Structure 1
Amino acid sequence: MQIYKVGGAVRDRLLGLPVTDIDWVVVGATTEEMLTKGFRPVGADFPVFLHPGTGEEYALARTERKSGRGYGGFTFHASPEVTLEEDLIRRDLTINAMAEDGQQNLTDPYHGQRDLENRILRHVSPAFAEDPLRVLRVARFAARYAALGFTVAPETLELMRQLSESGELEALTAERSWKEISRALMEDQPHVFIQTLRDCGALKVLMPEVDALFGVPQPEAHHPEIDSGIHTLSVLEQAAQHQQPLTVRWACLLHDLGKGLTPEEEWPRHIAHEHKGLKLIKAVNERFKAPKDCQDLALLVGQYHTHGHRALELKASTLLELLQSFDVYRRPQRFEEFIVACEMDARGRKGLEQRSYPQADYLRGAAKVAREVAVQPLLEKGFRGPELGEALKRERLKALKTYKDTASA
Structure 2
Amino acid sequence: MNIYLVGGAVRDQLLGLTVSDKDWVVVGATEQAMLDRGYIQVGNDFPVFLHPKTKEEYALARTERKNGKGYTGFEVDSSQTITLEQDLLRRDLTINAMAMDEEAQLIDPYNGQKDLKNKILRHISPAFSEDPLRVLRVARFAARYHHLGFQVAEETMELMSLMVRDGELDHLIAERVWKETSRALLEPAPQVFFELLRECGALRVWFPELNKLWGIPNPAKWHPEIDTGVHTMMVLQQAAMLSDDLSIRYAALVHDFGKGLTNPALWPSHRGHEKLGIEPINALSARLKVPNHCNDLAVLMSEFHSHVHRAFELKPSTILNMLNRCDAWRKPQRYQDMLTTCKADARGRTGFEHIAYEQADYLLETLDVAQRVDVQEIVSDGFKGKDIKIKLDEKRTQAIAELKRNTPVPEAN
- Is the counterpart of residue 264 in structure 1 residue 268 in structure 2? no
Question: 5 Å matches for 1:225-374?
Answer: 225-374=225-374
- Please name the residue that 2:31 is paired with: 31
Distance 1:16 1:217 in 2: 43
- Please name the residue that 2:92 is paired with: 92
- Is the counterpart of residue 191 in structure 1 residue 160 in structure 2? no
SS across alignment from 2:19 = coil
Distance 1:244 1:39 in 2: 36
* AA of the residue aligned to 1:15: L
Distance 1:96 1:401 in 2: 59
User: Contact between 1:143 and 1:191, CA under 8 Å: does it hold in 2?
Assistant: yes
- Please name the residue that 2:393 is paired with: 393
- Is the counterpart of residue 168 in structure 1 residue 168 in structure 2? yes
Distance 2:324 2:164 in 1: 43
- Please name the residue that 2:60 is paired with: 60
SS across alignment from 2:324 = helix
Distance 1:408 1:203 in 2: 44
- Please name the residue that 1:112 is paired with: 112
* AA of the residue aligned to 1:18: T
Distance 2:126 2:341 in 1: 41
SS across alignment from 2:109 = coil
Distance 1:224 1:298 in 2: 25
Deviations 1:237-286 (A, max 9, x none): 11112234111100000000111223332211111111111111111111
User: Contact between 1:328 and 1:371, CA under 8 Å: does it hold in 2?
Assistant: no
SS across alignment from 2:407 = helix
SS across alignment from 1:362 = helix
SS across alignment from 1:356 = coil
User: Contact between 2:194 and 2:203, CA under 8 Å: does it hold in 1?
Assistant: yes
Distance 1:213 1:367 in 2: 33
Distance 1:383 1:127 in 2: 73
- Report deviation, 1:137: 0.3
- Report deviation, 1:408: 4.4
Distance 1:379 1:71 in 2: 62
- Report deviation, 1:30: 0.2
Deviations 1:10-59 (A, max 9, x none): 00011111111100000000000000000000031110000001000000
- Report deviation, 1:314: 0.4
Q: Which structure 1 residue ranges, 5 or more long, are not aligned?
A: none
Question: Could you tell which deviates more after superposition, 220-229 or 366-375?
Answer: 366-375
Distance 1:391 1:201 in 2: 55
Distance 2:405 2:88 in 1: 68
Matched residue pairs, number? 409
Identity %, equivalent residues: 56
User: Contact between 2:305 and 2:342, CA under 8 Å: does it hold in 1?
Assistant: yes
- Report deviation, 1:406: 1.9
Distance 2:233 2:371 in 1: 35
SS across alignment from 1:392 = helix
User: Contact between 1:65 and 1:74, CA under 8 Å: does it hold in 2?
Assistant: yes
Deviations 1:170-206 (A, max 9, x none): 2211111111101111111111111111111111111
When normalised by structure 1's length, the TM-score is 0.98
Distance 2:158 2:169 in 1: 15
Deviations 1:85-121 (A, max 9, x none): 1111110000001111011111111110110011100
Distance 2:262 2:379 in 1: 50
SS across alignment from 1:76 = strand
User: Contact between 1:328 and 1:335, CA under 8 Å: does it hold in 2?
Assistant: yes
- Please name the residue that 1:380 is paired with: 380
Question: Could you tell which deviates more after superposition, 186-195 or 262-271?
Answer: 262-271
User: Contact between 1:237 and 1:348, CA under 8 Å: does it hold in 2?
Assistant: yes
- Report deviation, 1:76: 1.3
- Please name the residue that 2:70 is paired with: 70
RMSD, aligned α-carbons:
1.1
